[in-house]
Structure 1
Amino acid sequence: MDYDFKTKLAAERERVEDLFEYEGCKVGRGTYGHVYKAKRKDGKDEKEYALKQIEGTGISMSACREIALLRELKHPNVIALQKVFLSHSDRKVWLLFDYAEHDLWHIIKFHRASKANKKPMQLPRGMVKSLLYQILDGIHYLHANWVLHRDLKPANILVMGEGPERGRVKIADMGFARLFNSPLKPLADLDPVVVTFWYRAPELLLGARHYTKAIDIWAIGCIFAELLTSEPIFHCRQEDIKTSNPFHHDQLDRIFSVMGFPADKDWEDIRKMPEYPTLQKDFRRTTYANSSLIKYMEKHKVKPDSKVFLLLQKLLTMDPTKRITSEQALQDPYFVEDPLPTTDVFAGCQIPYPKREFLNEDEPEEKTEKVQHCADCGKSLREFPFLWEYLGAAWCTPCYTSYFGIPVATAIILRDGIQSCPRADFSQSLMLHKDGQMVHCTLQNPNLPEPFVPVNVYQACTIPLIQKIWKSISTNRMSAFIPLIML
């Protein structure tokens, strides 16, 4: 290449660091990379932008997919890609978007924290309706253009803050999106495992190879239920190890525990699912005889004859061929009754949710240290000698016990056989309680002998039984985490 031409090209090349001020303004991080809140240095406008730096060097397939799709997609409820930058020096890829101050993950977390503080504040029903309508409108646009999102979850549903698009929903993160009009291979061959576990449709968990846009509708149903209750409807422990096997026992168990086991007449094609033999072997219909979506939602004060419940039921239909479409959902009677959905989901009221906080650049990234902060108070979990896991997040002890209203008696953590609590202290703690007093015991070690399995299931134990567990752990030098909670 001609030297003068190269020099001219380098001079004309736009660099992110020359155009935008973003240092110290990191607002997100994950396996995809980092997101910064940015403003133009030249002051041409006062708009706030989101700069997404893609992890790694060069353009990955996921980034290529996202860029290619976003360049073509234009809809008020789909995030708009403004520009793409490729850094010549370090070959980093930057994507420029309009900045969204909120997302559903933080909004739901805000309301869940209000429960924990004994000051429950439900999402306003009008706001829930407006959020759902705009999500469905955006997904209908994607589906009409033969695009599956495949990773819908609260964190990927953005909501604009103050400004000309105040309170507007933006569907984001198209890294897993696919065209489905004429795939060369079955979609399951391209990506065997898609969608975050809690929002994954049952046909995916049963190994469906030719899945459809119904998987996005199921995920929207999960988000809808979460907006109504402030809790993930199908939460279960998520495995850290990525696997190409779509079957996930714990997730199916959670779905059946809420919905009940699907009857043959309700889902005739379930027998054709690749993982159906495993389903028959691992599950018993009678175990879930008393489970139903009606019972679950009644606990959260949603009546089974209400329009809100009837729409939720259509979104969370087990059989994907009977599941409602986005177009049908937009015409549902739920959206006709008052309050009507609005373009501004905050309905002109003051926004109660805090703005995004800037993250410390010096903190380890999520991929190197998964648990950083308590899900509720936000304190660093390094301050606490042990952690609690609930709703897929880590909690510090004060927040966890406050949420459930239960006092902690004591706890022991063992890692690779190293005792973090001397055995004498443990014995002394046990002696403070009368023999036979009941406690809850959670075990996170599948190697422990019966009757201390299945893993992560609360069970009632007597103090002598806890002593027996302790003896077994001490003998076998197993790694375990045993919190003892007073009943």
Structure 2
Amino acid sequence: MNKKFGLNKKLPDEFDHDHHTLATATTTSATISYSTDQGDDASEVGMEVIMSRGGSGEGLEPTVTSTSGEPYRSHSFPAGKHTFTVDERYTMIRTIGSGAYGVVISAKDSKTDKNCAIKMVPKAFSDEIDAKRILREIKLLKHMRHENIVQLVDMMPPNVQYLEDFRDVYLVTDLMETDLHRIIYSKQKLSIDHVQYFVYQVLRGLKYIHSCRVIHRDLKPSNLLVNSNCDLKICDFGLARGLHDEDDGDRASTMFLTEYVVTRWYRAPEIMLACHEYSYPVDVWSVGCIFAELILRKPYFPGDDYIDQLTIICEKLGKLDESSLDFVTSEKAKRFMKKLPDKAPQPFSSQFSAAPPDALNIMRKMLEIHPQKRVSVAESLEHPFFSSLHNADEEVVSKLPFDFSFENEKLHRLRLQELIWKEAADFRPSCLPVAPARGVIAIDATGSRSEP
């Protein structure tokens, strides 16, 4: 995987999303350099230097938590509209992201002498579905260990006496510098070597994820974190599923053309068409969409809604004949697909004139509408387009599948607070048990309380 190419990009002043996590080095000498505008004296600087500007992290006086057998000192400081309360070993550098699910800061870890990212999810238990997604992501990140997947390195046990007062969740990861979405929509020149290396790393990480019997379901450029040496990490596992799992208790993903929270531009046709069962090919479709976007520098299927999305897909790839709709289980969805205008597929060579034939060949196989005919991750890695990078010994798989059995339990709010507290306590072995609630001895699986 030794590639020598560079990226030159002006770093935006602020990140406006909440996906900035993890980094571990991989074996490439590829680099990204960034420039700052300083009049005529613009100079090349590293991303880390720029990220260090702004917010000093100065805050309130340190306090000592009451949840640890060997108390650690915590301190509080403002970050955006929120107040962070974290271990004193972490000193804020600046706010780097904010979104619907929280705020992300960059920080210096005095224990490791490295920079890291800390994501705060405020009021994490106000919605049980969202809290369940947080728990799922925590468990998945703790299970997975791979160079192309973000890694959770620490959590803060809540500074509370009772679990029912547990409000905010903090996730600490190593720091990444940007994401693929920002690279694509910058003025940065991207060669086919860049495209090859980025897509290869996504496939490499995805091979490991699928070996855990996990479907990511939300692959998109903003969920692919990138460092200045072009290393890439997959993040955001809140919508991940095991095979044949339900969808958070709602029916959104099994209702024909029902809009869902995942960005539709990267959604596989079988999900939009409400197929009862879908599997690993949904992630391969997303990789194909990202592949195309890297070359075009714009979304390949930019639908305004699911109807528009499916129409655009068939316009560009060709309409399926009736015999090829056998994977569609909804009769309503089948009728919709049959009524679409007859379209012959547009030649990829005219849509992607700058890409070599090998790249177009594997991309087209990823963007096969019929999921059972779509190329697999393993087949993609062995394709000639990736021959200069492919090394089966480095494309590792997990020894154990991920255990989704915790999702079989009815996870009421207090149970979710308990389970996430336990995940945090794993990082802090000295944590003492916390009472569930005021005047409560025990809580059963339904959330009913036993009073003293």
TM-score, L = length of structure 1: 0.57
**Partner SS, residue 48 of structure 1:** strand
| Counterpart selection for 1:34 from 103, 109, 127 | 103
| Counterpart selection for 1:9 from 64, 68, 76 | 68
Deviations 1:260-311 (A, max 9, x none): 212235x241453354245157x3333xx25x2425x5243146x8110000
**2:179 counterpart of 1:103:** yes
What's the counterpart of residue 267 of structure 2?
200
What's the counterpart of residue 85 of structure 1?
156
1:134/1:169 contact within 8 Å kept: yes
Q: 1:138 to 1:187 in 2, by over 3 A?
A: farther
* Cα drift, residue 7 of structure 1: 5.0
What's the counterpart of residue 349 of structure 1?
none
Deviations 1:359-414 (A, max 9, x none): xxxxxxxxxxxxxxxxxxxxxxxxxxxxxxxxxxxxxxxxxxxxxxxxxxxxxxxx
182-191 or 135-144: which moved more? 182-191
2:106/2:115 contact within 8 Å kept: yes
Deviations 1:25-82 (A, max 9, x none): 1111222211111112xx3333110111124234810110001111111111110110
**What aligned pairs does 1:296-315 form with structure 2 within 5 A after superposition?**
298-302=350-354, 306-315=357-366
Q: 1:280 to 1:144 in 2, by over 3 A?
A: closer
* Cα drift, residue 184 of structure 1: 7.1
What's the counterpart of residue 347 of structure 2?
294
Q: 1:21 to 1:124 in 2, by over 3 A?
A: same
Q: Distance in 2 between matches of 1:188 and 1:212?
A: 19
Deviations 1:447-473 (A, max 9, x none): xxxxxxxxxxxxxxxxxxxxxxxxxxx
What's the counterpart of residue 94 of structure 1?
170
1:187/1:210 contact within 8 Å kept: no
* Cα drift, residue 187 of structure 1: 9.7
2:276/2:329 contact within 8 Å kept: no
2:196/2:386 contact within 8 Å kept: yes
Q: Distance in 2 between matches of 1:259 and 1:8?
A: 57
What's the counterpart of residue 310 of structure 2?
252
What's the counterpart of residue 284 of structure 1?
340
How many equivalent residue pairs? 302
Q: Distance in 1 between matches of 2:114 and 2:184?
A: 26
* Cα drift, residue 236 of structure 1: 2.4
**2:138 counterpart of 1:67:** yes
What's the counterpart of residue 127 of structure 1?
194
Q: Distance in 2 between matches of 1:108 and 1:197?
A: 18
Q: Distance in 2 between matches of 1:270 and 1:188?
A: 22
* Cα drift, residue 13 of structure 1: 4.7
What's the counterpart of residue 136 of structure 1?
203
**Partner SS, residue 251 of structure 1:** helix
1:66/1:174 contact within 8 Å kept: yes
**Partner SS, residue 56 of structure 1:** coil
Deviations 1:85-105 (A, max 9, x none): 143256310001110002100
Q: 1:332 to 1:156 in 2, by over 3 A?
A: same
Q: Distance in 2 between matches of 1:211 and 1:184?
A: 11
**What aligned pairs does 1:329-478 form with structure 2 within 5 A after superposition?**
329-336=380-387, 340=389
Q: Distance in 1 between matches of 2:370 and 2:218?
A: 20
Q: Which amino acid aligns with 1:298?
A: S
**Partner SS, residue 276 of structure 1:** helix
What's the counterpart of residue 168 of structure 1?
231
1:100/1:160 contact within 8 Å kept: yes
Deviations 1:132-170 (A, max 9, x none): 111001001010110110100000001123xxxx43211
Deviations 1:99-126 (A, max 9, x none): 000210000011xxx3xxxxxx641111
Q: Which amino acid aligns with 2:318?
A: G
**Partner SS, residue 36 of structure 1:** strand
Q: Distance in 2 between matches of 1:37 and 1:258?
A: 41
| Counterpart selection for 1:18 from 76, 88, 96 | 88
Percent identical: 30
Q: Distance in 2 between matches of 1:228 and 1:280?
A: 28
Q: Distance in 2 between matches of 1:186 and 1:294?
A: 40
Q: Which amino acid aligns with 2:312?
A: R
Q: Distance in 2 between matches of 1:187 and 1:310?
A: 39
The Cα RMSD (Å) is 2.8
1:86/1:92 contact within 8 Å kept: no
What's the counterpart of residue 409 of structure 2?
none
Q: Which amino acid aligns with 2:370?
A: D
Q: Which amino acid aligns with 2:210?
A: H
Q: 1:316 to 1:84 in 2, by over 3 A?
A: same
Q: Distance in 2 between matches of 1:7 and 1:17?
A: 13
Q: Which protein, 1 or 2, shows the higher relative CO under an 8 Å CA cutoff with sep ≥ 6?
A: 2
Larger Rg, first or second structure (1 or 2): 1
What's the counterpart of residue 217 of structure 1?
284
Q: 1:334 to 1:8 in 2, by over 3 A?
A: closer
| Counterpart selection for 1:273 from 330, 347, 354 | 330
